[in-house]
Structures are given as C-alpha cells and as structure tokens.
Structure 1
Amino acid sequence: MAGRAVVVGVGHYLPERVVPNSEFEATLDTSDEWIRTRSGIERRHFAAEGETTSDLATYAAEAALKDAGLTADDIDAIILATSTADLTFPSAATMVQARLGMTGGFAFDVQAVCAGFVYALANANALILSGQARRVLVIGAETFSRIMDWSDRSTCVLFGDGAGAVILEAREGKGTPQDRGILSTDLNSDGRYKDLLYVDGGVSTQNTGYLRMQGNQVFRHAVDKLAKTAETALEKAGLTSADIDWIVPHQANIRIIQGTAKKMGLSMDHVVVTVQDHGNTSAASIPLALSVGKARGQIKQGDLIVTEAIGGGLAWGAVVLRW
C-alpha cells in the first residue's frame, strides 16, 4: 500500500467585472482581432477596487470546501500560490486561514509566478506523504491587474484576476499508476532567464513596479520546457502521453497550449482550455481550469490529468494526477 494525496474538492472564483478586448481599443493601439489572434484571449476579469488577492482566494477556498463537504476545521494546512499578495507580510494564506475561521494548522504562500500552483501542489503532496498534514487546501490566486503598465499593449491585454482551489486528502493507494491522487511531480527553474519576465520593482528596491515581458523569448522557451517537464513527470509515474485523458495547462496563450499539445502528440480534444474567458491569471489559471473543467463535465473521477506551467524565474514544472 502507498499513501496518495487525492483531490476531494475543487472550486473557483472570478471577480464580477468582465473586461472584453474591445475595452482596450479606446486607450491603446490594439484591437479585439489583434489580441484574439495572438493570444486566444477574448475577455478577462478584473478585481473591484478594494478587492484583494486574499478575498478572491477565500471565495475559491469556500467553494472547494463546499464541493468536498468539509469545513475549515477539517483542514490541516493552506498553501496559497501567488505573486500578488495583499501585503508584504503576513502571507495571504494566513489571511485566508483567519477568514475561513480555521484556528489550527498552518498556512503559507508559495511564489513561483505562473508555475506557482504546480509548485504548491508538489509541496502539498510532500506534506501529505511525509505525514505532516492529512488535508491540505491548495489555492492559486492573483490580482495581476494591479501590476500592469496600462500603456504597454504587449502585456496589459494578456492578464486577468481570479482564484482557484483544490483540497488534497491523504488516502491509501496500491502504489500503481491506477491510484487516484498525485502520481508524480517535476519542478524546475533557471534564474539566468530573469529578464524575460519580471516585475521591475519590489520591497527591497522600494518601488512597486510593473510587469515586464519579452513575449517572443518566453514563447520560445515555453513549448519546449512544458512538453519536457510533462514527459518527465509522466515517466516518473510510469505512464506515457497515450494514457492522458486531459492536459490542464497554464492558460497563458492559446498558441503555447496548442504547441505543447502537438509536441506531446495529443489533439486539442484532450486539453481543457479557459484562456479565452480568463486571460492569463498566473498561479490561479490551473486551479481555475480544473474547477471549470469539472463543472463543464469534462473532468471525471478516474481521469488521468497532466498540469504544466511556466512563469517568471524562469520556473516551470508539471504534476501528474488521477482525479
């Protein structure tokens, strides 16, 4: 017998304000067609004034708890993946902990930008397998609208706000690839590529800063690195691309999603796509897509899922799990 971290609940939250591509036409030299053809994005959600990352995260967490039929007292740990926490400290995770009324356990943030949720899942899996937690609430939440340079048409049209959450629970498995739960993880980073995607400010530089990206360079790295990390994770699990029911990728750009699927030898019929409705929500994009994919009736119990993501750092990775 082998311990497994099994998904028992999933949920998401999107801010009320929907921003279609056409809204950018008034202030930027861009068009709905330009944005759509290059990114696949048609609309995104922006948080309301005063609505913070921990707010979005709490709503997604409450939806996941409801889906699992659990209460905050049933959770041992919260891991929140975000690059846009409310405050420098404390962590947004501890704010969610308080809002949920969870007085025990522990909570912390993980920062790996768009790869954050994959990193958070890997950490949650390790906590469960080592016996340090039985149930872990894993959240991805972002308010990237707060770090956009609204004069930069190459970046500000790509990002959105939102949150998604899953609850992982310790369960016994047989130690085979047929087990439900996380079957393998693969994490990578290479700090030499910092200048391809970063925010030009932060606490110790005493300046909030804006997101800066060399889009073509990021694209060049993304397809290759995403396909490789997914294949490595599958190999670790004793599986191949042919076993996949769904790729649930980081939703950054439809061309990256299509290119990665092609490189893995899979048709787009096996890919959960939400980028058209959400834009790039960074660490929130995978849990959002998991929740929407389940709600649409795409993702069903027993399905083999590969999630993969790449973000600033560069940081990238993949998780193979059976739903």
Structure 2
Amino acid sequence: MSQITAFGTYVPEKIIDNHFFEGLIDTNDEWIISRTGIKTRRYSKDGEYTSDLAYKAVQNLMESSGKDISDVDFIVVCTTSPDQPMPNAASRVQYKLGIQNTGCNDIYAACAGFVYGLQMAHGFINSGVYKKVLVIGSETLSKITDMSDRTSCILFGDGAGAALVEPGEEQFLAFNSGTNGDLGHDLYLSHKKNSINGVGINPNSKIVQNGRSVFKWAVGNIPIKIRELVDKAGLTMDDIDYIVPHSANLRIIEAIAKSLDYPMDKVPESVTEFGNTSSASIPIAIEKSRKNGGIKKGDIVLMIGFGGGLTFAGTIVRWNL
C-alpha cells in the first residue's frame, strides 16, 4: 500500500499579466480573460530551467513536512520542457538534491504527466521495488512557447509541484488512463519530424496546438472518464469532495464541471493565476486550494490530467496531509 506523505510546490517570481502580450500580438486583457480565464502567469528567469524549479518544489516539500529525502530511491520527473533531452531532468534533480543511490526517469506525457507519475510510484511501492519515490511535475513552458502564435502564447506559464510517495495506509482508491493517439497532431512539440499520422506539422521546437480540437476532445471525453473512475473506486459523485482537473483553460474546466453537474467551488484550478503549467498544474491547484481553506485531510480528491498524446490519466485519493 502507498500514500503521499509530503507535498510541495514552487512558482517563479516573475509575474506576467495579459498586457504583456499586447505588444506582441493582436490581443488585450479582456479578450484573454473571456476565452481562457487567465489573468497572470509566471515566467522563469534566464538561466532558470525545469530542474531548478523541480529542485525548489522539493525544497518546499521538505520545509513544509520536515521529511528527510536523502534515502529516496527513485525520482520521477514529469515534464514536456526538460533542460535538455539527455541527461533526463530527473538526473539533474538528483544532482541538485545530492541524493545517492536513486534511480531516475522522466515521464513525457504532457499535462497528464503528474498523475501518470503517481501511478508509477504507486506501482513501485506496492511491488516492493522501491520504498521512497519522489514524483515531480515541472515545466518551463515559457521557453518553448511560440510568442507569435496568438492562440497559444497567452496560455502557458512555468511552475513545479512535488509529492513524496511511501508505503503506508492505502491512499489511492483508483486509477485510470487512456490515449487517442490518432489526435497526436492536434497538440505537439517537434524538433525534427515534419508529420504526425501523415498530417504535416511544423518542427519548430515550439508548442503547437489546435485549441478547438483539444477543447472538443477534453469536454467530450474527460467527464466520461471521471465517471468511469468514480465507478471503478466504488464511489458516487456525491462522495467526491474535490475534482482537480489539469488547469488547461478555465472554460474547459467550467464545461467539464457543467457536464458533470458538479459545483465549480469544488473544482480547484491554478490557471487563472498561473496559466497552463502542464504537468505542474494539478499540484499547484491542490496547494492553492489548501492555502485557501479548501482541500483538507480526509477529503476524497479526484485528479485528472489530459493533454498531448492526446492522453489522460486519473486517480482518486483520500487526502491525508
């Protein structure tokens, strides 16, 4: 059995409001808020990268919990924006933390990454392969954003979240996941290849998104997957205290909540203040809710990430922090 025993987050200091984009593209604050709900986001400094944000999230985890991480035996970093393709981001985090004798691996599942990381950690702990696993979602999306793309540049921000998973009282009540790889060309980051599924793409090393298609896929599929996950846990929607979806866009979150007939005040988000931080958005939303008197010990919390792939991953946990 496994449980989350410590939790931490970090966002860069630099705040970017919507007026920043008025000098780059044809847009304004009202337009951005009406379509995305985003008011501000955070950008990392020059020379500050994904592993740096991950390191600071783990520092926050240690400070808030008093946990010793020197004996962590596996590190998972979930990211779409690693410092470089090789060595992996987890190895850079291992170096910065000075942890010895630990395995390191990255999960490259975009906005679903953090929940996939929790699934992996749960499997490691329950199988007895590892006893102490760090799961980190960390992104510096500002460094791979196409600032000339009016539809996407306004969305993304930087941040990180970390969870320590150890043996203990069973906390994870259910998992699910799935992928529609036939829609891979609707959200991608390509360095070399110029096609996906036979569809021509732009290999410009920047995020490219067909927002309309991703919106339709998320709103049409995620409510179904949430209900399936609740059924799998042997629960009802009334049993779920909070649903924490990936904070892609406030309008997507609102549409998902409406489809489920679920109250928005029970759907924590991080997008309005921090933008779309991909794999970091769920932990940042959870921490924001905790600080504002929302999620508390004993609550049943459903997390579901969705994005590039197009893929999704969900879990239900009994929050114990």
TM-score bracket, normalised by the shorter chain, equals over 0.9
Name the residue aligned to 2:173.
183
**1-structure distance, mates of 2:93, 2:281:** 19
1:124-163 pair list within 5 angstroms: 124-163=121-160
1:50-83 per-position Cα deviation (integer Å, ceiling 9, x unaligned): 1000000000011112223212213221111001
1:137 Cα deviation from its structure 2 partner: 1.1
1:174-213 per-position Cα deviation (integer Å, ceiling 9, x unaligned): xxxxxxx1111101112110111112325999x6521111
**1-structure distance, mates of 2:297, 2:192:** 42
Output the amino acid matched with 2:215: F
1:101 Cα deviation from its structure 2 partner: 1.3
Name the residue aligned to 1:287.
283
Asked if 1:200 corresponds to 2:190, the answer is: yes
Asked if 1:227 corresponds to 2:223, the answer is: yes
What SS does the corresponding residue of 2:25 show, helix, strand or coil?
coil
CA contact (8 A) 1:251 1:275 kept: yes
CA contact (8 A) 1:12 1:60 kept: yes
The answer for unaligned runs of 5 or more in structure 1 is 174-180
Output the amino acid matched with 2:179: S
Name the residue aligned to 1:178.
none
Name the residue aligned to 2:14.
17
Asked if 1:59 corresponds to 2:53, the answer is: no
1:256 Cα deviation from its structure 2 partner: 0.8
**2-structure distance, mates of 1:202, 1:40:** 33
Name the residue aligned to 1:177.
none
CA contact (8 A) 1:68 1:167 kept: no
254-263 or 157-166, larger mean C-alpha shift:
254-263
CA contact (8 A) 1:189 1:313 kept: yes
**2-structure distance, mates of 1:204, 1:28:** 26
Output the amino acid matched with 2:39: E
CA contact (8 A) 2:270 2:282 kept: no
**2-structure distance, mates of 1:309, 1:290:** 13
1:159 Cα deviation from its structure 2 partner: 0.5
CA contact (8 A) 1:121 1:138 kept: yes
1:95 Cα deviation from its structure 2 partner: 0.9
Output the amino acid matched with 2:19: S
The answer for unaligned runs of 5 or more in structure 2 is 196-202
**2-structure distance, mates of 1:49, 1:308:** 31
Name the residue aligned to 1:121.
118
Name the residue aligned to 2:105.
108
**1-structure distance, mates of 2:173, 2:63:** 25
**2-structure distance, mates of 1:208, 1:152:** 12
Asked if 1:46 corresponds to 2:43, the answer is: yes
Output the amino acid matched with 1:169: E
Asked if 1:28 corresponds to 2:18, the answer is: no
Once the two structures are aligned, what percentage of the paired residues are identical? 41
69-78 or 135-144, larger mean C-alpha shift:
69-78
Change (3 A) 1:228 1:318: same
CA contact (8 A) 1:248 1:308 kept: yes
Name the residue aligned to 1:313.
309
1:168 Cα deviation from its structure 2 partner: 1.5
Change (3 A) 1:203 1:74: farther
**2-structure distance, mates of 1:190, 1:295:** 35
Name the residue aligned to 2:213.
217
CA contact (8 A) 1:226 1:317 kept: no
**1-structure distance, mates of 2:303, 2:183:** 22
**2-structure distance, mates of 1:253, 1:114:** 12
Change (3 A) 1:248 1:202: farther
**2-structure distance, mates of 1:249, 1:13:** 19
Change (3 A) 1:160 1:276: same
Output the amino acid matched with 1:316: F
1:246-257 pair list within 5 angstroms: 246-257=242-253
CA contact (8 A) 1:122 1:185 kept: yes
CA RMSD of aligned residues (A): 1.7
Change (3 A) 1:202 1:290: farther
Output the amino acid matched with 1:191: G
Q: TM-score, normalised by structure 1?
A: 0.93
